[in-house]
Amino acid sequence: MDAKQKFEQFVASEGLRRTGQRTKVLDVFLATERHVTVQELHDLVRKKHKGIGYATVARTVKLICESGLCRQVDFGDGALRYEHKYDHEHHDHLICVECGKFEEIYSPKLEKLQHELVRKYDYVQKSHKLDIFGLCPECAKKNAQKTT
């Protein structure tokens, strides 16, 4: 099942209608590989479909998340972003608190440790995320130069 079919199945299971506007928002979201805010996604949607409003994009993003196709990420800068989740490899993030730059990271060792901790404490894992906040190499260098 592809992402669009999964979304349509979810919308139907919620008793909602499949609309052209939702489909257009989903298409634009699936076409971008960036971590986008609702406003950024709205701007992208409006480039192709002038008549789709912000509220429609925001409601559709909520449905996309609930359907399991994306997840919300918070890089600590006050803006919630959305990234693809369906058919994408799991990853975590390193986030610079100075400039906002982020890196997607994956570590099999870290994943194994997380699974061991879940088992050790007898939890039933539903999901997880790891965001590490710090300074990117460029900002760390700038801060070091300020203190010398």
**Contact at 8 Å (CB) between 59 and 29?**
no
The answer to whether residues 28 and 83 belong to one domain is yes
The torsion angles phi and psi of 62, rounded to 5 degrees, stand at -60, -45
Quote the pLDDT of residue 22: 95
The answer to whether residues 28 and 72 belong to one domain is yes
Average pLDDT per 10 consecutive residues for the chain, totaling 148 residues: 90 92 95 92 95 96 94 87 80 88 87 92 87 92 82
Round to whole Å and give the CA distance between 86 and 70: 6
Tell me which residue range forms the domain holding 96: 89-148
Quote the pLDDT of residue 148: 67
Quote the pLDDT of residue 50: 93
Q: What domain count does the chain have?
A: 2
Query: How many Cα atoms are found within 13 Å in the side-chain-facing hemisphere of 97?
Result: 7
Q: Identify the CATH number of the domain in which residue 31 sits.
A: 1.10.10.10
The answer to whether residues 42 and 15 belong to one domain is yes
Round to whole Å and give the CA distance between 60 and 25: 7
User: What pTM was computed for the model?
Assistant: 0.73
The residue out of 56, 72, 88 marking a domain boundary is 88
